[in-house]
Structure 1
Amino acid sequence: MRKLLLAAVLPFSALAQDAPINLTPGAAPASQEIVATLAEKDRLLFDAAFGCKVDVLKTLVADDLEFFHDKHGLSMTSGAQFVQAIADGCKRQEAGTDFRARRELVAGSMTVHMIGAYGAMQMGTHRFYALRTGQPDQLTETGKFIDLWKREGDDWKLARVISYDHVLAPQPK
């Protein structure tokens, strides 16, 4: 049965990659250096997005970024569109229409897996908080994410985002 399955899958996997087929089980584990690099990229990304640092954000995303959200489906199809959406949200915050927010990565939830020569997949759980002047930060929701980071030379660019399993936090009465 295993030989039959390999015979059926191998031709399709060869189409999906330019590199030779590797039949060794499992992918190469992410090195501690890559894990640390992506943890820092993750921190910079959310600091830029929620801190309205649009110029920094532009340096972190790939031109062909795609963003999938469990509530909205395919939401964005380019890095420019993503950056513009963040910039628009910052304008709404300045106008007082939207509240400021922060994101917190749940400690110990992040994992990183190599995706061949393309890059790495980062997964984890995060919490989002509303920030209102004179009030404690208020948890608004939790969610999970899968981020695909593309390696471009010595740099990493966010290329794909799957944001899912969002659960609204109970609101105080």
Structure 2
Amino acid sequence: MRKQITALFLTGIACASVSTSAEEHPVVSGPSTSSELVAEITDADRILFDAVFNNCDLDASQDLVTDDFEFYHDKWGKNADSGAEFLSSVADMCEGRQSGRNVKARRELVADSVKIYPLNNFGAIQIGTHKFYGLPEGKEPVLRETGQFTHVWQKVSGKWKLARVLSYDHKPAQGASE
């Protein structure tokens, strides 16, 4: 059941990403946040959403989340207990896209909403607001909802991996059906 709920979440609102950079979306951070950390986390975010949601690149996705990855969502509770469980849901979502069962979508960061803070000897916290657009075949993108996120990134052997996700305060766009 949890796998199905995670697949519904991935399918319904967060199936793709817009390319972003620190220049396109200025980041507000604490005084101990270096510009190097901001650039690294911004890039890791873009790579993750591009591989997992935009391109359904399952090979690239394997190395983007930690083994002990956890995902919490305000509508559905705890969605993933491990990286493997999350990636299984991603594979199901991608299969659904190919079969026409799932609609493509795009995730877009809201300018000036992202904040990044270092976590000493571990990684970083990234918080912000994002929008989710449905991408119906042959039609213009449709804003479906906005939400808040908190990501905990861990640097593992020099590579950034997403370790924890809190996805909350989801609000449907005006006129959007849930």
Percent identity of equivalent pairs: 45
Q: Which amino acid aligns with 1:32?
A: S
Query: Map of 1:131-142 to 2, 5 A cutoff?
Result: 131-142=135-146
Residue 161 of structure 2: aligned partner: 157
Runs of 5+ consecutive residues of structure 1 not aligned to the other structure: 1-26
Matched, 1:66 2:70: yes
Runs of 5+ consecutive residues of structure 2 not aligned to the other structure: 1-29
TM-score (norm 1): 0.81
Instruction: Give the 3 Å change call, closer, same or farther, for CA 172–110 of structure 1 in structure 2.
Output: closer
Asked if the contact 2:143/2:176 (under 8 Å) is kept, the reply is: no
- TM-aligned CA deviation for residue 74 of structure 1: 1.0
- TM-aligned CA deviation for residue 171 of structure 1: 2.9
- TM-aligned CA deviation for residue 28 of structure 1: 6.8
Post-superposition Cα deviations, 1:75-114, rounded to whole Å, max 9, x if no partner, equal 1010111111011011111111110011101111111011
Distance in structure 2 (CA, Å) of the matches to 1:165 and 1:58 = 28
Distance in structure 2 (CA, Å) of the matches to 1:128 and 1:58 = 23
Describe the SS at the equivalent of 1:59: coil
Matched, 1:143 2:147: yes
Residue 15 of structure 2: aligned partner: none
Residue 82 of structure 1: aligned partner: 86
Distance in structure 1 (CA, Å) of the matches to 2:172 and 2:51 = 23
Matched, 1:115 2:137: no
The partner residue of 1:38 within 31, 41, 53 is 41
Asked if the contact 1:28/1:114 (under 8 Å) is kept, the reply is: no
Q: Which amino acid aligns with 1:44?
A: I
Higher relative contact order (Cα pairs below 8 Å, separated by 6+ residues): 2
- TM-aligned CA deviation for residue 58 of structure 1: 1.2
Post-superposition Cα deviations, 1:126-153, rounded to whole Å, max 9, x if no partner, equal 0011111211000111101000001113
Q: Which amino acid aligns with 1:75?
A: N
Indicate the structure (1 or 2) with the bigger Cα radius of gyration: 1
TM-score (norm 2): 0.78
Describe the SS at the equivalent of 1:44: helix
Root-mean-square deviation (CA), in Å?
A: 1.6
Distance in structure 1 (CA, Å) of the matches to 2:124 and 2:87 = 22
Aligned residues: 147
Q: Which runs of 4+ in 1 moved over 3 A?
A: none
Matched, 1:128 2:93: no
